[in-house]
Structure 1
Amino acid sequence: MDNQITIEVCNKEHIQTIVDGINHYNWSKVPALSSVWIPLEFMAKDSKSNVIGGILGGIGYWNGLEIKILWVDEAYRGKGIGTRLLQHAENFAHEKGAQVSMLDTFDFQAEGFYVKNGYKPIGELEGFPKGHKRIYFSKKLIDQRV
């Protein structure tokens, strides 16, 4: 190993170099179906225009919907808002060509919610955080509009 190698904090330019490096490698193995990350960022508002929930994610290079955050204000939980946000993002992604959705949650967050919405657990990380687990889910996307 080269003794002259250093480890340093990245700036934006370096982050782009790292992203470009992994993308170049990945695309040499499996060609991208999309050349860009397509953000999917939607919010729910109440009658007074207060944000009461939202979903943040996007469609990646191989046309998979990657959900990073889904949140509904505690006062509005159990009223179907999370399901509406999730289905809206899934439908939007499916229209753009996504065939699968993926996400993770913790056992104290929304494990049952995702199962109820058709997601299948594909992996778990026990003891993270301590006394809990992180669960990874996926779902094949189909057109849900009636």
Structure 2
Amino acid sequence: MAEKLNYTIEVCQKENVKNIIDGINEYNFKSVPALAEVWTPLEFVAKDKAGIDIGGILGGIGCWNGLEINLLWVKEEYRRKGLGSQLLKYIEKIALESGATISMLDTFDFQAEGFYVKNGYKVIGEIADFPKGHKRIYFAKRFDY
């Protein structure tokens, strides 16, 4: 006979999210102490002369000095002109100056696989057929010590 557990599963509220993050951090830091603030956001936007957003990069440095890039976008008419590489180099420079030792990100094969390889990233894994007919690719780039 299965044991009946006394709990519920509910939609998170802000205070729940904090408790979850604090809980995993407490567990993790017992094994590997934090080297930096738990999360330092690094978020930058590129604007044209009229002040219109034409690209941006969203990421941050985690507690073990890793730069995590969550999103890089360049407006279509500015693609293949170096803006994406400039945004990537900019966030990497700030991260390196802040103590980061590695950069991590993911993309899809229909997005920017070649772009990241061209910018020194190495494939460290992939999920085939996600989304169907494509693959999700995980990259890392170690910074020189």
TM-score by length of 1: 0.95
Alignment correspondent of 1:66: 68
**CA deviation digits over 1:12-57, x for unaligned, max 9?**
0011000000000010000000133110000111111111000000
**CA deviation digits over 1:64-110, x for unaligned, max 9?**
00000000001100000000000000000000000100000000000
Alignment correspondent of 2:26: 24
Alignment correspondent of 1:100: 102
Distance 1:2 1:52 in 2: 55
Give ranges in structure 1 of 5+ residues lacking alignment. none
Q: Aligned residues: percent identity?
A: 64
1:119 aligns to 2:117 (yes or no): no
**Which residue identity lines up with residue 48 of structure 1 in the other structure?**
A
Alignment correspondent of 1:33: 35
Q: Secondary structure at the match of 1:31?
A: coil
Q: Secondary structure at the match of 2:58?
A: strand
Distance 1:39 1:3 in 2: 39
RMSD of aligned C-alpha atoms?
1.1
Distance 2:69 2:37 in 1: 19
TM-score by length of 2: 0.95
Give ranges in structure 2 of 5+ residues lacking alignment. none
1:133 aligns to 2:132 (yes or no): no
| Alpha-carbon shift at residue 141 of structure 1 (Å) | 1.8
Q: How many residues align?
A: 143
**Which residue identity lines up with residue 109 of structure 1 in the other structure?**
Q
Alignment correspondent of 1:88: 90
Q: Secondary structure at the match of 1:4?
A: coil
Distance 1:131 1:105 in 2: 15
Q: Is the 8 A contact 1:94 1:142 kept in 2?
A: no
Q: Secondary structure at the match of 2:15?
A: helix
- Give the 4+ runs in structure 1 shifted more than 6 A: none
